[in-house]
Amino acid sequence: MKPYTLISRSFRSILVFLVVCLLGGCGAKIQCWSEESFRSSDFSEEKLQKEGLALLPVIILDHSLETHRAMDSPHPSAPYAPAPGKSAKDGSVTVLSHESYQIILNEILIGKIQTKRPSFRLMPPGDVLIRLNDKNLPCDFRRFSKNFTKSGLEPDQLKCFSKALNSRYLFVSQAAVTEYKSDASVTIIWTFGRKSIIRSVNLYGQVWDTQQEKQIWDGFGVGYQRLSAYEGSVLLEQMVSSAVDSLLKTFIP
């Protein structure tokens, strides 16, 4: 057998192996970070355990519901490259609905707090909605969710929610689920790539003392993933879980 034939076959084998690896995709790791913005001297886990903590349903910020469109690029995306999200014919990416985001975040948040602090007297978001509905307050809560980012919790709302929920402390959280596609394409082996994508879940939390009518804790946690060519995206639940873990490291370390 001629030497060049062996070299040719070896080259083809290596090339096939590389293509299979690329097309199979490698999952990029989820990166996390968090920060505590404020902790009052009145904040204590003992008080939360004794007097109750009601977790209001997570407020999904408006820009989480938008459809994001990639910027035009002179380089075409690679064939068979996995793309997160559901793509429409016009190239846009459709994200999940408000209710889907809220359900996922509520379930993961309450589950992880219960696991870390089983002794806490917690009221889950689902029970909060039931109790507010029984007290004829669903419209008040919808108005609060819509205006909270602008006006915060007003004293009358604090007293009203506290009385209805029979809980001194309220945990208010907001989330932004975003996806950004850059205009820069990635080149691997040959000019054969796809645009890089950054997906993130940003979770902001606050604890309010309804008796003193003031905020006693504030912090946030972020889980994000930077996808380059041929890297597979993780499930949204995994990214939410990472963001919640980051937030709770500062809230109840």
164 inside domain:
yes
Lowest mean pLDDT among 22-31, 39-48, 64-73: 64-73
pTM (predicted TM-score) = 0.73
212 inside domain:
yes
Closest CA to 171 of 253, 62, 248: 248
Query: Is pLDDT at 131 greater than 90 in this prediction?
Result: yes
52 inside domain:
yes
Query: Is pLDDT at 89 greater than 80 in this prediction?
Result: no
Query: Is pLDDT at 224 greater than 80 in this prediction?
Result: yes
Average pLDDT value for the chain: 75
107 inside domain:
yes
73 inside domain:
no
The mean pLDDT value for 58-62 works out to 86
Gap between the terminal Cα atoms of the chain: 67
What pLDDT sits at residue 55?
Answer: 96
Query: Is pLDDT at 17 greater than 70 in this prediction?
Result: no
What pLDDT sits at residue 216?
Answer: 95
What pLDDT sits at residue 119?
Answer: 87
- In the chain, what percentage of residues exceed pLDDT 90? 42
- Specify the CATH number for the domain of residue 122: 3.40.50.10610
Question: 216: which 2 tokens?
Answer: 């006693």
Q: Bridge-partner residues for 219, per DSSP? A: 36, 205
pLDDT in tens, 146-189: 888 888 888 888 889 999 999 999 999 999 888 766 554 443 33
Closest CA to 56 of 114, 160, 132, 5: 132
| Structural domain harbouring 47 | 39-67+87-180+201-225+236-251
Count CB-CB contacts under 10 A for residue 63: 10
Closest CA to 84 of 233, 226, 195: 233
Are residues 182 and 77 in contact, defined by beta-carbon separation less than 8 angstroms? no
23 inside domain:
no
Report the domain count for the chain. Answer: 1
The mean pLDDT value for 3-23 works out to 45
124 inside domain:
yes
Closest CA to 236 of 225, 249, 228, 247: 225
pLDDT in tens, 191-208: 344 556 778 899 999 999
Q: Does residue 246 or residue 149 have the better pLDDT?
A: 246
Looking at residue 214, the DSSP 8-state letter turns out to be: E
Task: Tell me how far apart the alpha carbons of residues 199 and 233 are, in angstroms, rounded to a whole number.
Answer: 9
Query: Is pLDDT at 217 greater than 60 in this prediction?
Result: yes
Are residues 69 and 93 in contact, defined by beta-carbon separation less than 8 angstroms? yes
